[in-house]
Structure 1
Amino acid sequence: MSLYKTKGIILRTHKLGEADRIVTILTSNLGKVSAVAKGVRKTKSKFGSRLEPFMHVDLVLYKGRNLDIVTQAEIIDSFSGIRDNFDRITYGSAMLDLTNKVAIEGERDVALYNLLLKGLSVISGVKKNFRLLLIAFDIKLMAISGYMPKLERCVVCEKGLGAKMHFSFQWGGVVCDDCKVSDRNSIVVTPAAVETLSRLLRRPLLEAIDMDVIARTEDELYLLMHDYIAYYIQARLKSRECLSQLACS
Structure 2
Amino acid sequence: MIDHIFIGITLTKETSGESDSVVSILTREFGKITALARSAQRVVSKLGPHLEPLRLIEGRLVEKKRSCIADALTQISFRHIRSDPVVFAGALRILAFVREHAAELEQNDLLWETVSRSLRLLDQAVAAGALPSAISREQIFSQIHDKLHRAFGYQ
User: How does the TM-score come out when normalised to structure 2?
Assistant: 0.90
Equivalent in the alignment of 2:47: 47
Q: Given residue 114 of structure 2, which amino acid in structure 1 is its aligned partner?
A: L
SS of equivalent residue, structure 2 residue 68: strand
Using the aligned pairs only, state the percent identity. Answer: 25
Equivalent in the alignment of 1:81: 80
Higher relative contact order (CA 8 A, sep 6+): 2
Contact kept, 8 Å, 1:123 with 1:130, in 2: the verdict is no
Q: Given residue 137 of structure 2, which amino acid in structure 1 is its aligned partner?
A: F
Distance in 2, matches of 1:135 and 1:73, equals 31
Equivalent in the alignment of 2:89: 90
Give the number of the structure whose alpha-carbon radius of gyration is greater: 1
User: How does the TM-score come out when normalised to structure 1?
Assistant: 0.57
SS of equivalent residue, structure 1 residue 23: strand
The number of equivalent residue pairs is 147
Contact kept, 8 Å, 2:114 with 2:151, in 1: the verdict is no
Distance in 2, matches of 1:145 and 1:49, equals 30
Equivalent in the alignment of 1:72: 71
Name whichever structure is richer in strand by fraction.
Answer: 2
State the Cα RMSD in Å: 1.2
CA positional deviation for 1:11: 0.3
Distance in 2, matches of 1:62 and 1:118, equals 27
Q: Unaligned stretches of 5+ in structure 2? A: 126-130
Q: Given residue 42 of structure 2, which amino acid in structure 1 is its aligned partner?
A: K
Equivalent in the alignment of 1:130: 137
Equivalent in the alignment of 2:7: 7
Match of 1:139 among 140, 146, 155: 146
Equivalent in the alignment of 1:121: 120
Contact kept, 8 Å, 2:24 with 2:33, in 1: the verdict is yes
Distance in 2, matches of 1:41 and 1:144, equals 33
Q: Given residue 72 of structure 2, which amino acid in structure 1 is its aligned partner?
A: A
